[in-house]
Structure 1
């Protein structure tokens, strides 16, 4: 290796960082520049020198006075372009370099995704990785990922016929063609696609891998909360994984619990991911195809939901050339009840990420999840709500939406009854942007009311308006929240006016008051509030009336929903014990420690509930312990 700059006695170029360009066969004279070095092949030998090709369309003479060695036809050498004369003749000088890097050059301008607008109408080449292939009624659309953006490349055959069938997903390719504008965005109309191999493939792969566009943004949390800091690193890892998933062309399906906290988690995250997709995909329709938010009525991933999700995913793979999606579970997904659905996804190697604050069963779900963020895994608890975590996660993906999210953690905390030490800080943060506690409570009630009637529909635009995220009219937001929160309060009052007369009371051995109601028989069905919400509202009234430790059970033929204040329950543990202690009971369920739901076979209702009450009688009284979240809406 030589260290000084200059030329050796044998003509060797001694520069330390020499670049030698390797032209694509289709390159023309417009792609070369005087003074640059190129790989060349001898195509003819004459008395006064050798003729060389540096592409199929660019040839010239190396005069004998500029030759260092002797060559036969077909041999390779490195040349420097000396001059392009007015008559079109090109002259070269042979050079020998001690150390160099080869850089490929395609025909036309080497386009970067930051300059597509400036080269519209020009011939370009683009190197990248194929992340999606979609056959339309006309061209085949190859979505090609470059280090910082995904560009659609349209290749034409006969109408509806797959162009370049040899090219597959995840291949590294060079696209040559013309940049054109379509539907307000740029695409490359391809003349040729070639698969890159060897050093060229490694170069492009390295450029994509080394790009910092996938890295989570380094943002300071809204509040200084030591408990949250324990989770922050893993949330950054989830943010990076989601950004990488977007750029890889894999769709993301957000499955979330359809309650206030679930919406405070999923709506900001949906907004952040849409922003990131718009920033990194040239295709204006990409957010619609890559991202969907799917509410779940149950607080776990039901087989009904996963069957529907898989069917849609497989159809999209067949019809639209999509990869199978990544599933992001929010405010659910942490328990043994989720594992049958997870096993179904595992058959198709579908990745799963979980952000949740329900009491987890990590041994049950860890084999199925790539990331699992839950405060219980860090010796914290439900007081860090999923909405609080996901607002920070959304800011790590798209920090520019920060100002629109300042009130959302407080809505999540109130909706899920968080008593975390940071709640006062979150309330202050919301007050700074014009929301007092009553406003936040009304938003939570309006969200619950809306999701009850929306059922399995995500209600995208309407829910955005209710939460005032990605909403362009705050006055409309306030009017709609007022209307729905008033209707929710009216319907709750009507429900409780009928139900409270049928609530029974008893004193447990530990001193707690136990209230029971058959919500199937003594509450209106198929209307708001649902059994879980009805039980929660009854419980709240009894806590306010008595000021004592209170447990409330709302039950139906094959389910019970549970709420507790001032009694240290562990509902997931109680459910696990009942499974073995009540043979034939078909017991399942879970939730938070002091709020949850249980299912059982209807013929064993009495045995299950009495065994449950016996366990509650043995629970420790802790009057400083409040109930956590609102009840699940469906059981």
Structure 2
């Protein structure tokens, strides 16, 4: 309240200024509680707040005062030089009714900070990092996130009572550090009660508005994809909100061509949005991690590693726990154990995928889920196609760099969707012919194999020609694609003589290969790609429906052309039918992988072949994805 806001009729009312109050909040006709801070021959100096001090002349005093004594005063005069003079009021401070005068702040938005200005910011503390010098509070307001540095002494935590999630008011001076704005803290105060509620309401309204995804026109007209746009908008909204709130993002994606066509565009869009909303570029580098996963589901190994890093970052850097963004994996029952592990820590999860889903199992654990199967579509809509549109919703400035990527994704996962013609035409308009796109796809798979658990940021950017070095891109892609074809040819030369061929009851060719013993190990191509290459060779030779099984001691990878398989259903049936088989797995309808216990391999594979023999022949159906590596 202000001095004029209340009880002028009460002779005992005295106003106490908050520490941040200035002389602008002092009225001449009001009485104020003051503290003596100095005694001189001609009077006493008093403080009304940190910024309001002045002299009570000895001619107006009827009693003696010592430093620390309290008295009630009124404002007499503001001199030309800014000095203040006060007179004592005939009120005993012990008997007065004290009402607080709150400082009237003019709050500055983080986007309006100007170097050397004295400002007041209000917002939520989203990170607290203790350096060897100052304590850095990352403050999120309506416009973005700005670092506020407070110094107690070297390496000592300033304002130890302030925690992540607190709503605070920061007063200080704006400085530039390596071209980025920051606030040198003069004072930092946690807001409580109504003041905190008002700020939270203001922040929430602004965040909701800023988090809204951009309205975009799809790159091509494709009615089959339209039902997924609402879900993609939900994911984009969640991502943008996560960035605004200063929460980190851990992005997991399948380590294959489609997975990288999905993740790299989204990574680029998120990075640009982070740059727009975060002043501290050094800190923002830790807000997004892109991490490949070898399996087409979220393995416990990866989940445990992600959780350990998240908890470590919270302890070391004061970060919130992250959003987990799953791309080209994350839709199946195999993901559930890992998801349940994160659920204990309330880590939000969003998934964009095109593997055959188990919605009843995963959706209770997901904050958002986009999958073509949920809308009556299938794997021909690849995750890369979906994620290019998602990236554009996050930041549409990435559009020009991504027009060729959906075609690469389609080739990488061998999509036979009618829309592929439109995507290929879009890529041709950008200077890519189909051979260029195929080389990019082959190079991505080759690079992914050798990168293993590394994101390979620069290499992948160059190969995919997204935010990379355009001068190096053609040579890099051609070289890796050539190496991939050479290694595949060498693998086929060794493996093809060992392929066992048979005919199923439905007339389809059955090819089986023990990739553990009859193919080169620990090199490219891995068992999954080896099986795919053998399968493609047989399809090319015969032109007939073909099923290929590449198996090892405890796994099998499956490919099919021209046979209407339903691999997820077959796996579910094997789980029920083979006691002690330890069967798990999944994938698409006609491409996938299964695991089992080593001692039950014969029983599992025999039962699998029997089910394949009962499958319906469909000459128009062909495989559309590279099988997951084992």
Q: TM-score range by the shorter chain?
A: 0.7 to 0.9
CA, structure 1 residues 146+544, in 2 after alignment: closer, same or farther (shift >3 Å)? same
Q: Partner of 1:68 in structure 2?
A: none
d(CA) in 2 for partners of 1:37 and 1:371?
A: 53
SS of residue in 2 equivalent to 1:126: strand
d(CA) in 1 for partners of 2:82 and 2:599?
A: 94
Select 2:117's aligned residue among 102, 117, 122.
Answer: 122
Q: Partner of 1:354 in structure 2?
A: 351
Q: Partner of 1:235 in structure 2?
A: 232
Q: Partner of 1:612 in structure 2?
A: 608
Q: Normalised by the size of structure 1, how large is the TM-score? A: 0.85
d(CA) in 2 for partners of 1:311 and 1:40?
A: 62
d(CA) in 1 for partners of 2:354 and 2:620?
A: 20
Q: Does 1:205 align with 2:200?
A: yes
Q: Partner of 1:64 in structure 2?
A: none
Q: Partner of 2:581 in structure 1?
A: 585
CA, structure 1 residues 258+39, in 2 after alignment: closer, same or farther (shift >3 Å)? farther
Q: Partner of 2:93 in structure 1?
A: none
SS of residue in 1 equivalent to 2:169: strand
Q: Partner of 2:97 in structure 1?
A: none
Q: Does 1:287 align with 2:284?
A: yes
- What's the CA shift for 1:38? 8.9
d(CA) in 2 for partners of 1:534 and 1:315?
A: 39
Comparing 121-130 with 480-489, which one deviates more in the overlay?
121-130
d(CA) in 1 for partners of 2:576 and 2:27?
A: 77
Select 2:31's aligned residue among 23, 27, 42.
Answer: 42
Select 2:149's aligned residue among 149, 154, 178.
Answer: 154
Q: Does 1:450 align with 2:439?
A: no
Select 1:26's aligned residue among 17, 20, 24.
Answer: 20
SS of residue in 2 equivalent to 1:376: helix
Q: Partner of 2:386 in structure 1?
A: 389
SS of residue in 1 equivalent to 2:354: coil
Q: Partner of 2:530 in structure 1?
A: 534
In angstroms, what is the RMSD of aligned CA positions? Answer: 2.7
CA contact (8 A) 2:349 2:366 kept: yes
- What's the CA shift for 1:308? 1.3
- What's the CA shift for 1:74? 8.7
- What's the CA shift for 1:195? 1.1
SS of residue in 2 equivalent to 1:227: coil
- What's the CA shift for 1:240? 0.8
Q: Does 1:105 align with 2:100?
A: no
Select 1:398's aligned residue among 382, 395, 408.
Answer: 395
SS of residue in 1 equivalent to 2:122: strand
d(CA) in 1 for partners of 2:81 and 2:357?
A: 78
d(CA) in 2 for partners of 1:323 and 1:39?
A: 48
CA contact (8 A) 2:32 2:48 kept: no
d(CA) in 2 for partners of 1:549 and 1:234?
A: 36
Matches within 5 A, 1:416-427: 416-427=413-424
- What's the CA shift for 1:87? 5.6
CA contact (8 A) 1:24 1:104 kept: yes
SS of residue in 1 equivalent to 2:210: helix
CA contact (8 A) 1:313 1:325 kept: yes
Q: Does 1:312 align with 2:312?
A: no
Q: Does 1:569 align with 2:568?
A: no
Select 1:547's aligned residue among 539, 543, 547.
Answer: 543
- What's the CA shift for 1:454? 0.6
Matches within 5 A, 1:515-530: 515-530=511-526
Gaps of 5+ in 2: 1-15, 34-46, 55-70, 86-100
Q: Partner of 1:96 in structure 2?
A: none
Select 1:321's aligned residue among 299, 315, 318.
Answer: 318
Q: Partner of 1:137 in structure 2?
A: 132
d(CA) in 1 for partners of 2:156 and 2:498?
A: 68
d(CA) in 1 for partners of 2:365 and 2:102?
A: 42
CA contact (8 A) 2:21 2:103 kept: no
- What's the CA shift for 1:296? 0.5
Q: Partner of 2:180 in structure 1?
A: 185
CA contact (8 A) 2:253 2:327 kept: yes
d(CA) in 1 for partners of 2:29 and 2:572?
A: 74
CA contact (8 A) 1:41 1:74 kept: no
SS of residue in 2 equivalent to 1:153: strand
CA, structure 1 residues 24+220, in 2 after alignment: closer, same or farther (shift >3 Å)? farther
SS of residue in 1 equivalent to 2:589: coil
Please give the per-residue CA displacement for 1:91-134, whole angstroms capped at 9, x wherever unaligned.
9xxxxxxxxxx99633xx64322222x3x123221111111111
d(CA) in 1 for partners of 2:103 and 2:359?
A: 49
Please give the per-residue CA displacement for 1:127-161, whole angstroms capped at 9, x wherever unaligned.
11111111112211110001011010111112222
Please give the per-residue CA displacement for 1:285-327, whole angstroms capped at 9, x wherever unaligned.
1332111011001111111111111111111111111111111
CA contact (8 A) 1:41 1:54 kept: no
- What's the CA shift for 1:197? 2.3
Please give the per-residue CA displacement for 1:251-280, whole angstroms capped at 9, x wherever unaligned.
100011000000001111111111111110
CA contact (8 A) 2:109 2:142 kept: no
Select 1:626's aligned residue among 616, 622, 628.
Answer: 622
CA contact (8 A) 1:277 1:286 kept: no
What is the number of equivalent residue pairs in this alignment? 571
SS of residue in 1 equivalent to 2:364: coil
CA, structure 1 residues 547+40, in 2 after alignment: closer, same or farther (shift >3 Å)? farther
d(CA) in 1 for partners of 2:410 and 2:587?
A: 17
CA contact (8 A) 1:255 1:295 kept: yes
d(CA) in 2 for partners of 1:432 and 1:74?
A: 80
Q: Normalised by the size of structure 2, how large is the TM-score? A: 0.86
Please give the per-residue CA displacement for 1:364-398, whole angstroms capped at 9, x wherever unaligned.
11121111111101111111111111111111111
Matches within 5 A, 1:476-495: 476-495=472-491
- What's the CA shift for 1:170? 1.2
SS of residue in 1 equivalent to 2:31: strand
